[in-house]
Amino acid sequence: MTLMIPKFRILNYALAMLICLSASLGSRWSFAQDEPWEFSPYRVRVMVLTDDVPELNGKFFGKMADEISILAEQTDKSAWRVKVEEAPLFYRPFIAMGVEQIELGAVSEKVVRVKKDGKEREENVDFLTLNGIKLERDSTPHDDIVNGDRIAFVHVTKSQTGFNVVTRQLDCQLHLWGPASRKSTRYRSRLAGVVFETIRSTLVPVAKIEKIEGNFVRMRQRAAQMVIKVEDGVVVPNLDSPARVSLSTVYRPVVRKNDKNGKIVIKDGIREIDWTYLVPMENVQAAGSQSYIRAEINGAKRSPLAGRINKSQKKYAVVVRPTTNRTKLTLVTRDKKPKPIPDKKIYLKYPGADRKTKTIEVGQTNRKGEVFIDANDYPLHLIYIKSGERRILARLPIVPGYFEELEAAMQDDKDRLRSEGVLAGFEFSFMDLTVRREVYAMRIRSKLEQKKAKEARELYNLFLELESPDDFQKRLNNENRILGAAAGDEKQKKLIDGMFSQLQFLVQQRLQPELTSDLDQDILNVEKGGTYKVKSAVDDLEKELNKTE
C-alpha cells in the first residue's frame, strides 16, 4: 500500500537514518547495541574467497566488489549495509573446506589470572572456536564475531562449465547460521549479480520478543522502520528489501543469555527452542507506543517460552526460510539405544486462520520409523502422531523443507497398544455376555408369566452355562495385572490401568451378579404354584434404594 506522507514526516525518517548513521561511524561494521531496534540496519560483512585462477584475479575482484556494493544500495539503501572484502587469511582455510562445514562453538579452559590483591587465581574462561580451533580473546577473529553483526562467507570456484558460488551467513549476535545458498553462472560478467543474490537470500531477519501473553507474543522486527523508499516524494514500502517480512512469515524462537556487559555469553549463550514456531497474526499499531507484531505460539510442549525477559536473558524470533521441498521425520524410542517406531499413523492440520480445516491423513511411518512431510502453500504444519485408535502420541509443529531431516524421540507405547487390542477383545466379550444374559432373562420371565416352570428351568440351566460376572471380572483383573507388569515404565502402567478401570466399572454396573439368584427364586416360586409378578421400574428403583440403606 502506498503511503502519502507529508514532507516533514519524510524529513523525520531522513533524520532518524542520519542519527543511526552517525552513531555507528566509529565502528560501522560492529553491532550497535544503543541503536533504536526498528532503525537498526543489518550490517553484513562479506568475506569472499576465490579460486587462484587468472579469471578471478585481483583486478576483477575489485570490480566485482564494487558492483556488489552498488547492487546492495540499489536494492535497499537503509535497512542493510554490505561491505565486500577478500577473506582475511585466518578464514580462508575454513571457507576452502566448505562454508557449510564451518561450525561456531565454544570451549572452557582453566586460566591463571592475577587479581587486584596480587594473588594468582585459577578460573574458568570461555573461548569461541571455529571448527574446534580456539580463538584467543585478544585475537581479531574473536573480535569479529563478538562485536560483529553479520558475516557472510562466500566461496567462488571455477569449474569446466563456469563459476560456482556458495554463501552462508553467521548471525554474530545470536551465534546462529543461516541457510546456505548455491548458485552458478557460465559467464564471469554475471558473477557479481550471482554473488549478490546469494548474499541477499541468506540474510535472515530477526525480531525481538518483548512480551508473552498466554499463547501469543509481542515482538518487534529489526529495521522495520527502514524497509521503505521514497519515490517522487512519496514514502512506499520497499518490497525488494532483504529485511522485509510479511504476515505469512514463520519465526523460530531462541533465548539469548547476556553477560554483565550486555553481550552474548560465549558458551551456551544461545538456546534454540525445539519444536516451536511463531505465526504472525496481525501488525498492531497502538497509539502512543511502538508498533509490534502479534504472533501465535505453536509448540510441541505447553508454555515453551516460559521464563522472564530481562537484561540477562533476551528472547528473539528468527525468520524461517525453507531450502528444500520436504522434510524426513523419523520417530525413535526414548531409550539409551533408540529404535525406530514403525506403523504410526500421521495426520496434519494447519494453524491460525485455517484451524477449522479438517484433519488430513499423511500416511504412516515405515519400518525405519520414517515419514516424509511435503511442503505446500501453508508454511507451518501441525503433525499429529496417532497410536492405535485411542491416543495421540505427539503434536509436532514442522516447517517442511526448513530441516531436511528431523528425529523425534518418544515413548514407544507398544505395551499400551497390546493392551488396547486385549481390551477390545474384552469389550466385545462384555457386550456379548451382557446381551446373552438379558436375552435369557427375558425368555425365562416370559415362560414364568405363562406358568411354564419346567421350560423356564431348562432355560435357566443354559443361563448358568454362561460365564459368571465374577469369573469375567477375575479374568479381566488378571489380564490387567499381567499387562501392567510387562509395561516398560510407570507411565505406561498407569495408562493401561486407566483403560481397564473404565471397563471394570461397566462390568460392575451392567453384569449384576444378583440376577442369577433372582431368576432362580422366581422359578422356585412358580414351581411351588405361585405366580410371577412382572417387575416394574419402580420395583427396581426400590430395590436399589434398599441396597444403599
Segment 435-444 shows an average pLDDT of: 89
Residue 12 has pLDDT above 70, yes or no: no
pLDDT band at 193 (very low <50, low <70, confident <90, very high): very high
Helix (H, G, I), strand (E, B) or coil at 408: strand
Task: Tell me if 483 sits within 8 A of 501, measured CB to CB.
Answer: no
Exposed / middle / buried, residue 510 (Cβ in 10 Å: 0-12, 13-18, 19+): middle
Pairing between β-strand 313-319 and β-strand 206-213 as defined by DSSP bridges? antiparallel
H/E element, 235: strand 234-237
Integer Cα distance of 44 and 30 in angstroms = 9
Could you read off the pLDDT of 161-190 as tens digits, one per residue? 999 999 999 999 999 999 999 999 999 999
Among 19, 45, 13, CA closest to 34: 19
pLDDT band at 389 (very low <50, low <70, confident <90, very high): low
Cα 515 to Cα 47, 63, 438, distances in angstroms: 88, 99, 10
Contacts of 194 (CB under 8 A, 6+ apart): 163, 165, 183, 184, 185
Mean residue pLDDT across the chain: 85
Alpha-helical (H) ranges within 24-157 are: 58-75, 92-97, 140-147
Could you read off the pLDDT of 471-514 as tens digits, one per residue? 888 988 888 888 878 776 777 778 778 878 888 888 888 888 88
Residue 537 has pLDDT above 50, yes or no: no
Task: Tell me if 103 sits within 8 A of 175, measured CB to CB.
Answer: no
Contacts of 381 (CB under 8 A, 6+ apart): 348, 349, 350, 373, 397, 398, 399, 400
Helix (H, G, I), strand (E, B) or coil at 213: strand
Integer Cα distance of 83 and 510 in angstroms = 80
Integer Cα distance of 263 and 72 in angstroms = 28
Task: Tell me if 172 sits within 8 A of 43, measured CB to CB.
Answer: no
Query: What DSSP line would sit under 276-340, residue for residue?
Result: EEEEEEEEE--TTS--EEEEEEEESSSSTT-S--BTTEEEEEEE----SSEEEEEEEESSSS--B
> At 161, phi and psi to the nearest 5?
-100, 0
Task: Tell me if 283 sits within 8 A of 247, measured CB to CB.
Answer: yes
Could you read off the pLDDT of 320-336 as tens digits, one per residue? 999 899 999 999 988 88
Task: Tell me if 17 sits within 8 A of 225, measured CB to CB.
Answer: no
Give residue 15's pLDDT. Answer: 45
Max mean pLDDT among 5-19, 23-37, 198-212 falls in 198-212
Class of domain 326-410: mainly beta
Kindly report the three-state secondary structure assignment for every residue of 131-165: CCEEECCCCHHHHHHHHECEEEEEEEEEECCEEEE
Give residue 266's pLDDT. Answer: 92
**DSSP character at residue 11:** H
Strand partners, 120: 114
Residue that the C-alpha cell 569479529 belongs to = 144
Among 189, 398, 166, 375, CA closest to 277: 398
Pairing between β-strand 292-299 and β-strand 216-221 as defined by DSSP bridges? antiparallel
Could you read off the pLDDT of 295-323 as tens digits, one per residue? 999 999 888 888 888 888 999 999 999 98
